[in-house]
Amino acid sequence: MLALIKNFKKDALQQVQTKVVQPGDIFNLNEPKLSTEHIFTEEELASCEVDLSALTILAELGKGAQGVVLKGKLHQEDVAVKKLHHSASDLTQTELANFRQEVAIMKQLRHPKVVQFMGASTTGDNLMLVTEFLPRGDLEHLLKDKTVELSYFQRIKMATDLAIAMTWLHNTKPVFIHRDLKSSNVLVDNNYNLKICDFGLTHVKRNVAGASGHYGLKGTPYTIAPEVFREEEYNEKTDVYSFSIVLYELFTRDSPYDENMTGQEIRDAVCSGVRPKIPASCPPRLAALMQACWDNDPSVRPTFQKIVDELNVILIPDEGAREVWAAVFSFEYYCPVVKFVSGLASYLSTTEADPRLQIVLALLEITRGLVSMEKVTELTSWFGSFKTSDKDKQSFLDRVEGICAQPWFHGAISREETNDKLLNQPTGTFLARFSSEPGFYVLAFVGEKGRMQLKVARNGDRLVLGTVSASTIHEIIAHYQETRPESFARPCPHPWIEKLAPKEAAGYETDLSGF
């Protein structure tokens, strides 16, 4: 996109150095990016120096006007190397001091969601920064690669990762304001966890003492907050605005503005209150969060801690499931199954030996002894809240058993598997299964005209199929058994419950021996 935006320099020249301030401080556009005062000793800086003899360069990953990004190995560990084109002798004392000071600052940024600093070379011909290597590259390219499937849940989890990192940066002492937060400055690991990178270390700004009116426009145009465009004083809420654009990109996997717009056109649009168009398919709570984060008034924008809290609600809408997950494993994506069962049993006032928990574990499709947050969220979309229903007084486990033990329930099978199950079955055979869309069901049956599959949609706490609206899938099936008995006469053989073992008359039991 940047190549198509006129009046702005190329991406590598648009890096913005991290600003060190105190919480709530405001800084002026005419201030230098970093003080030239040495706030770190030479001994501290020397501890950052990387042993170049232990560094092996393997391949070039990218190149810009200010430097080149390389893949390498440092002590047999994969690393990313950002090497400046300039040598130390080419820089002024102020420029070199700023670069070395930022290296020392970066050494302090130790957080799981900030790219790990491995070392640097701050003297001689090889000015470089060495960080951990994240194999999936940057978020911008990942989102544009439509061959990579990313569920809505995964993308909101990515947004949460980013907000957690920014919460930490904004709550350090001193505070770090990124000032160039964008999807290309966020890296992705093999498990789709996000880490913030590029704190201005690859850019050495010339004429540091200059009072240019364009001082604040060194960021990427579409992520620049209106107060920065207007050359007003601003604080850490400018990062919140930038985050809103990344959040939009995460949801839509699209560019926030027309890629043919010039930088001046983007500036005019943003300053006049124009924002990216939120698709109608966006959940209202997520849309409201985007709008709050890109509000024209910085004081209205939420802090990153409030953003994290809101994203956790968006990730796990059910209050009960959210309480269980927070209690047993904070808000990490995976939780050991033994901890999850213990926490869920305690929350539901039952024991870990409750046989209905075996059904829950089977539905969660546990791999490597871990329960995923996404699967728990899907579970509540089909069976309702972990909290006991005020309407029918059924507990969550009663609701789970009430569906899964039915002879017509066949679980999370695909459309193709459904057709295979109904193949050669007599007219009147039917089944119910989960839809690929969480919270929805599918009714499939063999009618007089062959096999049919109908999606049962969810509208709030109601299930809807055609003109029929009901509170449970049982009621939907009962309606069709009454109105179309010729198509809903007998359940399809081999229901989902048969997958559970043992199959004795006593039923099933919770078995954690394999975890």
Q: Order of strands across the sheet with 67-74?
A: 55-63, 67-74, 77-84, 128-132, 117-121
Q: Which two tokens stand for residue 251?
A: 């949801």
Per-residue pLDDT band at 259 (split at 50, 70, 90) = confident
Average pLDDT of the residues in 418-436: 97
Give the residue, 512 or 285, on which the prediction is more confident. 285
Same domain assignment for residues 324 and 440? no
Which pLDDT belongs to residue 238? 93
Tokens 């985007």 map to which residue? 290
Same domain assignment for residues 112 and 149? no
Which pLDDT belongs to residue 421? 97
pLDDT tops 80 at residue 9: no
Q: Which of 321, 438, 435 is nearest to 378 (CA)?
A: 438
Q: Quick check: is 16 in a domain?
A: no
Which pLDDT belongs to residue 33? 38
Give the C-alpha separation, 229 to 426, whole Å: 69
Lowest mean pLDDT among 35-44, 250-259, 269-278, 320-329: 35-44
Same domain assignment for residues 413 and 435? yes
Per-residue pLDDT band at 326 (split at 50, 70, 90) = confident
Q: DSSP class of residue 111?
A: -
Same domain assignment for residues 141 and 49? no
Q: Quick check: is 511 in a domain?
A: no
Average pLDDT of the residues in 502-514: 46
Which pLDDT belongs to residue 284? 93
DSSP for 446-512?
EETTEEEEEEEEEETTEEEETTEEESSHHHHHHHHHHH-TTTSSEEPSS-GGGGSS--STT------
Same domain assignment for residues 303 and 174? yes
DSSP for 190-257?
TT--EEE---STT---SSTT---TTGGG-S-GGG--HHHHTT--B-THHHHHHHHHHHHHHHHSS-SS
Tokens 């869309």 map to which residue? 437
**In total, how many domains does the chain have?**
4
Q: Quick check: is 229 in a domain?
A: yes
Average pLDDT of the residues in 489-507: 74
81 phi/psi in degrees, rounded to 5? -120, 120
Lowest mean pLDDT among 257-266, 398-407, 417-426, 447-456: 257-266
Which pLDDT belongs to residue 180? 87
159: alpha, beta or left? (left if phi > 0; alpha if psi -120 to 50): alpha
Q: Strand pairing of 128-132 and 117-121?
A: antiparallel
Q: Is 511 one of the catalytic residues?
A: no
Percent of the chain with pLDDT over 70: 83
**Cβ–Cβ < 8 Å for 387, 324:** no
Helices vs. strands in the chain: H and E counts, helices first: 16, 17
Lowest mean pLDDT among 22-36, 64-78, 104-118, 153-167: 22-36
Over residues 356-398, the pLDDT tens digits come to: 999 999 999 888 899 999 999 999 999 999 988 666 678 999 9
pLDDT tops 90 at residue 453: yes
Buried b (16+ CB within 10 A) or exposed e, 328-352: bbebebbbbbeebbebbbebbeeee
Give the C-alpha separation, 354 to 397, whole Å: 9
Same domain assignment for residues 237 and 269? yes
Q: Quick check: is 239 in a domain?
A: yes
Give the residue, 253 or 107, on which the prediction is more confident. 253
Q: Quick check: is 50 in a domain?
A: yes
Buried b (16+ CB within 10 A) or exposed e, 187-199: bbeeebbbbbbbb
Q: Quick check: is 21 in a domain?
A: no
Same domain assignment for residues 414 and 275? no
pLDDT tops 50 at residue 505: no
Q: Which two tokens stand for residue 353?
A: 């030996």
**What are the Cα distances from residue 91, in Å, to 17, 47, 98, 129, 474?**
17, 22, 10, 16, 74
Same domain assignment for residues 465 and 387? no
Give the residue, 173 or 357, on which the prediction is more confident. 357
Rg (CA), the chain: 28
Same domain assignment for residues 302 and 161? yes
**CATH number of the domain enclosing 68:** 3.30.200.20
Average pLDDT of the residues in 153-163: 95
Domain end among 75, 107, 133 = 133
Which pLDDT belongs to residue 474? 96
Q: Quick check: is 24 in a domain?
A: no
Domain end among 367, 401, 435 = 401
Which pLDDT belongs to residue 86? 80
Per-residue pLDDT band at 17 (split at 50, 70, 90) = very low
Q: Count the Cβ atoms, other than its own, within 10 Å of residue 312.
A: 19
Which pLDDT belongs to residue 403? 96
Mean pLDDT over the full length of the chain: 83
DSSP for 135-147?
TT-BHHHHHH-TT
Catalytic residue among 11, 138, 161, 180: 180
Over residues 50-106, the pLDDT tens digits come to: 888 899 999 988 877 667 889 999 998 999 998 887 887 887 777 777 777 778 777
**CATH number of the domain enclosing 444:** 3.30.505.10
Domain hosting residue 421, numbered range: 406-500
Coil, strand or helix at 163 = helix
Average pLDDT of the residues in 7-13: 31
Domain end among 338, 367, 401 = 401
Which pLDDT belongs to residue 511? 54
Same domain assignment for residues 227 and 87? no
Cα of first residue to Cα of last residue in the chain, in angstroms, is: 47
Lowest mean pLDDT among 139-153, 211-225, 276-290: 211-225
Q: Quick check: is 434 in a domain?
A: yes
**Cβ–Cβ < 8 Å for 298, 26:** no
Percent of the chain with pLDDT over 90: 59
Same domain assignment for residues 201 and 235? yes
Same domain assignment for residues 153 and 290? yes
**CATH number of the domain enclosing 241:** 1.10.510.10
**CATH number of the domain enclosing 326:** 1.10.238
